[in-house]
Structure 1
């Protein structure tokens, strides 16, 4: 494994140790630590070796390699015994602290005899006493050993818990966890949770906390009715410990939590995410805890009848839930027996049994925004949900089934689809014999019918080329079957499908407009030249003619294309009315309403739909109601009547449940409902509709639409402050097989990762957020067709690096952002980035950072000049005003107060005093406040500062902006007290 160059001096060694300390725990850090110990041994001084050994022991301890930690500590103890004077107070403290690490490591190894564990604790006590150290840490370890073995813990607990803490005691968070677990083992959930509260609330933390406490508190929270709190902690807690070998036991408890709350599908997802733990956990105790949690999950999956589902197990083979459970059970049973044999009790076997026998605590707890069942993750498509309306039974007799399918197809009835599905299966079966029945017709006719149904399905998925080819093939078969009317219909459908997908730019729009014009002319010829058309066939051709012109209007947006559509619609409506074709009458009225909507006359479109809904309620067909209500809901959104839109869309969804799932685009209805909810100020409800819309698209194969909608949901959840929900949702999406395999559009995946990185930042995980931004910035540098996005990502990356204090790397990222901005300007984003970098550097480094900060501001000034030259107007405050204000802040941070005041006065001049109609009062007040502070406090000129502040307070009071005056009056009081 490649590592850093071999240190040639102690200074280089210390720098390498510091660099390694910043790495995450794992093999890279551990191997580097091993190499640094080898390097330290070349120097004659013992202190560098001590530091290297301490780093190596830490790497082993938190890298889940307990067998190696005691060996390293033995070397440290020998060095201490031989040369105690080289251990300064800090090194001595670290040495005695790590007696506990060794005790923990030895407990985790069943091959270490119990007598050796007790002997080590005796050694610890003797060493502490000899060094004059308090024994509370020793008694803490004695209690933990008693709990591990399964002895009566009460005496050991009292000896530990009753003693005062010392400098070498475990941190408050860890001790809190041990006390809470003591009460938990005694069956007192409430007391355990009261004890845990400071840790669960984030008031106390350390390397392992609160992740460890969270994992143990999940089930007590459920048992005491705090399901929402358990959900919240599960989301945050699993993210902290996932994939971490030293927290494998915690991961196991999160899997168990999923299994006991009806979230088996999420459990399998998390198991796949933590698959590395099967091979990377070297601690037998942690592995036992992990495997037991895995078994609880897999046992539940089996009990629910899904033992054949794929499950992520040890690398090297493919596992089912049943097969993996057998493997896990064997390994965990063996570990439990080994610990019990070492300890002389049955404690570990008993605890395992108790976990495996625990009944689910909740039937269903919605853990994430993407709630899925085991049926949803099964390879086979999930069974359609039951509907309020019972579909007509599919006839058993083959002739009856064929005739029934064709009759329903003539009406456009949704139940036709089920008949075609059944027929497709029968015809494809080996030994199929076609009935010799004149009413059914030849096999070639039935094959054409099935191809038509397949083509229609492809068209619904926007697979235009496939749909066109299938319709053409069907037309040829209809010719063979002597069915000219059906052949004409199939060719007309092929013409429309061949006209292509919606246009993405002006050139495509022009080409598609021409193609639709030609398609319409060809359909008219087919209509005119095909003899013997039945009324329903002629009506369909008229409908296709109107549809072609409607699509042309939608593509071109040209007013001249409105009248031809309406003329065709009138022909269809008159014909369908004359022949009493209810479905086609409804279709004509729907096309007319859509045409009015496309032409911009939304009130007329709504009026048409009002009349159509009245007709549908009285005469049917009923299956047109959901689609018509959905369209009226969308139009009402356009008219800004969100309440009426919400009512229409809700009713459309309710009625859609009465019909087969592919009758109505329910995903679209949910998406429109989300928009209505946002207009009504109901974002949580909007979030539910967005996630439902996305999952429906996903199930129907529209994966790009689904991931786009899910990204919208993730961003909304972030706006709502639901950071962990956002991260969990995106983690789930990014773990999808086609995403992991690189089969999804790379820009869409990048957008998902970008949203996740922003969520990590919002959740104060600066390290993870920065790592993701740096990776995205590197990848987006190759987006030659989209330099603007790279500019935005590189700019955000620079800011995060600045927050981390890495201003050298931040400068590099900002330069890349500026280079991309030169190709695709992002004036406001770049200005915001550069000003924020300047503020961060001056704030963190003071006078030492002034030169770097001013360089960032100089770049921001050039961006502002470019924006002015391009007549660009910022959405917020002007770039010049913002720049002047930032000059003021930066100089104030660096102690250049005269320059700061000059810049702030320039910002105030650019802003101008707020008036009754102005909306910048808050910004102006803050600028006045900072100028007053610089002038009155740092420049020690209180009189002009007070005059400035008093005038501003009067101005704001006259405008009724009392909220903005509060910081100013507070500063005034401070300055007057100073006088």
Structure 2
């Protein structure tokens, strides 16, 4: 708190501001400071409100030891000065007797006798105050259930009574009744009881998140796996990282462990690492730690006890070591509760959770489904995803080296596994190179490994690294006396260097020039290198053809077509003469690609059809997935999505036999997603997109991966799968390089922007606004991209307006306007300002009219600018939208004549409805609002009905019957009122 309040008005303002903060240390510390400030005024009422705020902070901040102490001060204040407590304060005071009871139950050091004494105190106070005792009996039942006594009578005494003003909220009581049935083993009845809460009809501070965490298992047991999945996503998001809901988090971890989602469970555990140290409630700790142990035991049982796990601060944990620590602490807590309660209830409940068998082998909880094998320590750079086909790596070191080189000459994917093994062996401190003439010196092997590393860097578009590694390899090959291999490495360096993006100038032109220079250098290199083997010469010819193909791709110039075909013919003729089989199919693939780049897609398909037939008959088999994938892309270009889907699906199936990066499985999945979109199968596309992203992530192409995840998140949001979208982005945004700020900041901003939009779509306005406010602050520094800042600030302004924070909304809109002046965004800014005007008039009525009109004036200036610039809106014109908003804003403010005039102007701008459905609906909405203003507010039903009836007739005649429904409904209402 920057400065302490100097007046009681400032104190109440500070209390109001603190109430808007999320629960946690910041809110709690501020509440403590406000109590100190309130004491200085010497007035009981401000102190009472400050104490109430502090107790709430302790209660929902998981600090049950402090809550009763604060309440004792409140109770003393009430006893000493009861007149200070008006009806509102009195209600809050008696309500919070229940909070104290809950806090005391959560503390095993509080004797059972003290718990019963507090209940007696509560009963006596309620009786003295003339209050209904249903809340007291509710607490009596909860104590009996906590202790493990027979709850039959306690339940009837509570549940059989009518609710009163001080009863727990409907949602909380529903949860308690459902838990009673659940404890009795009646899953069906529990779920029926929970139905209003799970459906969102009843809610409160902790609900439905609390009910959801308990309902997951009965849902699974009764066949409701899909419902459990959806509830897990929404329910977990509502309680994650929240110390007061640690128990709920524990049950979500348990749910992951028992549905084949152990990897997601470890991810969620990492996300909630704060709960190990921030939960001061022993009951909360007990529930959380038991859920954690269920997860860790399951992971250990599956043979992954060595995996890293997020645990208590101060040391590094594995699954196995954390499990031991958690088990000890949870057993201790269970023993302390049972000793206090005189039963074994906590130990038995804990044992029942730990002994529960998995309920499903696998339930796909999120779009990003991963196995435990995929969440281990970061893989070494040389690691490649496993293929379905087993690769045998020789044990003998000389045999391994020779095998790697032989496979590399063939372009065989199994070479990757051999090189990976050699990377590990050679970098070991005790490596001894074999003294074998067939193997050659160590310097040659080091060159081989550098060349392999360079190739992988190039595949990830890390061109500068690839070029440097190839040059280093070439030098070592020279030292080893292998000039042919040195030439290949230098050819690779030339190709990689040409791929390095230019810093300035025309990118396509600069790249084409760089590739031309690279080709000239390759030709000289080829001519000047003596003693090339057929394999080496074919590889150099392949590099020459590839660099010219890339030049054509960059320039799309007709003059660059013939040179590619000439180089491809050289490669094909040479490879055929010398029977270099991999380069024969490589040449044919390049020829087909060149036809495609030249705009000759049918010829490209014909060429590749023949190649596929030969590959199926004679191999190499590992060329088939890529080739089928390329034909699939060609067919997409020919708008034959069905045939493209068939090719790409077959390519994905065959790719499973080979390492993913050897056949570019990530690209195949991405292209298959595109084919699915063309076929109108977006849900299927979503699966392929996320798989493509995960494959890119695993091979180290992280920027590509996050771009694909961004597309997948947007698609899931477009499909209305809001919770899937949020869960996907939550998972992606905690990736180490994202959290460390190592990924491109604009890409991360796009991911966060999509998440904010998803949160808004999921009615989490508070979280969405917080994210957008942060993004707007960051994007204000994007001097190179003011247009994006304008759009983000505009969206931020609208959400602030929806929250009723119009001062901050006006400030954000001002930022958007300033950025718009540098990089115009006419339509988004106009939409923002009109929406702000509507919100202000709607929420504040006449008091908000002046500000609303100021926003509309700004929108009018933008419309004028757009008109001058010749800008055409994608939807209705900005002038039409502005006129309509003037009508709506004046109506909200009670200025009905001005509203009617604005709406008449809107009709003039809209024109008559026609066959276009969107235009007809827009026109009909304008008629409806005009009819409401004229007939309901100005009390002129006759002209309003004439207008409505004519509009219905016109729309019906045009076939827009759906658009007439609101009009006929309003007309019926006006006739009834007449």
Alignment map for 1:367-386 (pairs within 5 Å): 367-379=365-377, 381=379
Q: Does 1:750 align with 2:749?
A: yes
Shift in Å at residue 89 of structure 1?
A: 2.3
**2:50 counterpart residue number:** 52
**1:804 counterpart residue number:** 803
Query: Which segment is superposed worse, 896-905 or 196-205?
Result: 896-905
Distance 1:597 1:634 in 2: 10
Q: 1:915 aligns to what SS in structure 2?
A: coil
Shift in Å at residue 100 of structure 1?
A: 1.3
Shift in Å at residue 860 of structure 1?
A: 0.7
Distance 1:809 1:29 in 2: 21
Alignment map for 1:552-701 (pairs within 5 Å): 552-701=551-700
Alignment map for 1:865-884 (pairs within 5 Å): 865-884=864-883
- Would you say the 8 A contact 2:386–2:659 is kept in 1? no
**1:248 counterpart residue number:** 246
- Would you say the 8 A contact 1:502–1:555 is kept in 2? no
Q: 1:141 aligned to 139, 142, 161, which one?
A: 139
Q: 1:37 aligned to 35, 39, 48, which one?
A: 35
Q: 1:299 aligned to 294, 297, 303, which one?
A: 297
Q: 2:40 aligns to what SS in structure 1?
A: coil
Q: 2:195 aligns to what SS in structure 1?
A: helix
Distance 1:36 1:637 in 2: 65
- Would you say the 8 A contact 2:641–2:678 is kept in 1? yes
Q: Does 1:270 align with 2:268?
A: yes
Query: Which segment is superposed worse, 374-383 or 321-330?
Result: 374-383
Q: Deviations over 1:63-86 (max 9, x none)?
A: 222222222222222232233333
Shift in Å at residue 503 of structure 1?
A: 6.3
Distance 2:420 2:16 in 1: 66
Distance 1:388 1:215 in 2: 37
- Would you say the 8 A contact 1:549–1:565 is kept in 2? yes
RMSD of aligned alpha carbons: 2.1
Distance 1:251 1:637 in 2: 45
Shift in Å at residue 731 of structure 1?
A: 1.2
Distance 1:82 1:155 in 2: 37
Distance 1:485 1:8 in 2: 84
**2:940 counterpart residue number:** 941
- Would you say the 8 A contact 2:384–2:699 is kept in 1? no
Q: Does 1:326 align with 2:324?
A: yes
- Would you say the 8 A contact 2:692–2:708 is kept in 1? yes
Q: 2:313 aligns to what SS in structure 1?
A: coil
Q: 1:130 aligned to 128, 131, 140, which one?
A: 128
TM-score of the pair, normalised by structure 1: 0.96
Question: Cα–Cα, structure 1 residues 505 and 687, in superposed 2: closer, same or farther, change >3 Å?
Answer: farther
**1:104 counterpart residue number:** 102
**1:211 counterpart residue number:** 209
Shift in Å at residue 400 of structure 1?
A: 4.2
Shift in Å at residue 437 of structure 1?
A: 5.0
Q: Does 1:234 align with 2:242?
A: no
**2:414 counterpart residue number:** 415
- Would you say the 8 A contact 1:499–1:519 is kept in 2? yes
Q: Deviations over 1:20-67 (max 9, x none)?
A: 222222222222222322333334543222222222222222222222
- Would you say the 8 A contact 2:660–2:666 is kept in 1? no
- Would you say the 8 A contact 2:387–2:660 is kept in 1? no
Distance 1:483 1:254 in 2: 60
Alignment map for 1:501-520 (pairs within 5 Å): 501=500, 507-520=506-519
Shift in Å at residue 417 of structure 1?
A: 2.7
Alignment map for 1:79-478 (pairs within 5 Å): 79-379=77-377, 381=379, 387=387, 389-391=389-391, 393-428=392-427, 434=433, 438-478=437-477
Shift in Å at residue 931 of structure 1?
A: 2.0
Distance 1:469 1:686 in 2: 38
- Would you say the 8 A contact 1:479–1:487 is kept in 2? yes
TM-score of the pair, normalised by structure 2: 0.96
Q: Deviations over 1:534-574 (max 9, x none)?
A: 33322222222111111111111212111111122122222
Shift in Å at residue 767 of structure 1?
A: 0.9
Distance 2:245 2:526 in 1: 71
Question: Cα–Cα, structure 1 residues 929 and 539, in superposed 2: closer, same or farther, change >3 Å?
Answer: same
Count matched residues: 976
Distance 1:234 1:436 in 2: 60
Q: 2:11 aligns to what SS in structure 1?
A: helix
- Would you say the 8 A contact 1:245–1:280 is kept in 2? yes
Query: Which segment is superposed worse, 352-361 or 881-890?
Result: 352-361
Question: Cα–Cα, structure 1 residues 921 and 123, in superposed 2: closer, same or farther, change >3 Å?
Answer: same
**2:965 counterpart residue number:** 966
Shift in Å at residue 455 of structure 1?
A: 2.3
Q: 2:680 aligns to what SS in structure 1?
A: coil
**1:21 counterpart residue number:** 19
Shift in Å at residue 950 of structure 1?
A: 3.1
Shift in Å at residue 702 of structure 1?
A: 0.8
Q: Deviations over 1:850-887 (max 9, x none)?
A: 11111111111111111111111111111111111111
Query: Which segment is superposed worse, 38-47 or 600-609?
Result: 38-47
Query: Which segment is superposed worse, 765-774 or 928-937?
Result: 928-937
Query: Which segment is superposed worse, 963-972 or 114-123?
Result: 963-972
Query: Which segment is superposed worse, 86-95 or 689-698?
Result: 86-95
Q: Does 1:818 align with 2:822?
A: no
Distance 2:98 2:826 in 1: 56
Q: Does 1:494 align with 2:526?
A: no
Distance 2:842 2:753 in 1: 27
Question: Cα–Cα, structure 1 residues 61 and 491, in superposed 2: closer, same or farther, change >3 Å?
Answer: closer
- Would you say the 8 A contact 1:61–1:69 is kept in 2? yes
Q: 2:260 aligns to what SS in structure 1?
A: coil
Shift in Å at residue 627 of structure 1?
A: 0.6
Q: 1:920 aligns to what SS in structure 2?
A: helix
Distance 1:423 1:336 in 2: 52
Shift in Å at residue 798 of structure 1?
A: 0.2
Distance 2:85 2:224 in 1: 49
Q: 1:364 aligns to what SS in structure 2?
A: coil
Q: Deviations over 1:381-406 (max 9, x none)?
A: 39866655454x44445554444433
Distance 2:300 2:916 in 1: 67
Q: Deviations over 1:155-176 (max 9, x none)?
A: 2112211122222211111111
Q: Deviations over 1:257-308 (max 9, x none)?
A: 1222222222222122222222222221111111221222222222222222
- Would you say the 8 A contact 1:261–1:361 is kept in 2? yes
Question: Cα–Cα, structure 1 residues 27 and 477, in superposed 2: closer, same or farther, change >3 Å?
Answer: closer
Query: Which segment is superposed worse, 360-369 or 523-532?
Result: 523-532
Q: Does 1:525 align with 2:524?
A: yes
- Would you say the 8 A contact 1:503–1:555 is kept in 2? no
Unaligned runs of 5+ in 2: none
Shift in Å at residue 843 of structure 1?
A: 1.0
Distance 2:852 2:33 in 1: 39
**1:64 counterpart residue number:** 62
Question: Cα–Cα, structure 1 residues 258 and 955, in superposed 2: closer, same or farther, change >3 Å?
Answer: same
Shift in Å at residue 917 of structure 1?
A: 6.2
- Would you say the 8 A contact 1:288–1:336 is kept in 2? yes
Question: Cα–Cα, structure 1 residues 606 and 347, in superposed 2: closer, same or farther, change >3 Å?
Answer: same
Q: Does 1:721 align with 2:720?
A: yes
Distance 1:479 1:13 in 2: 79
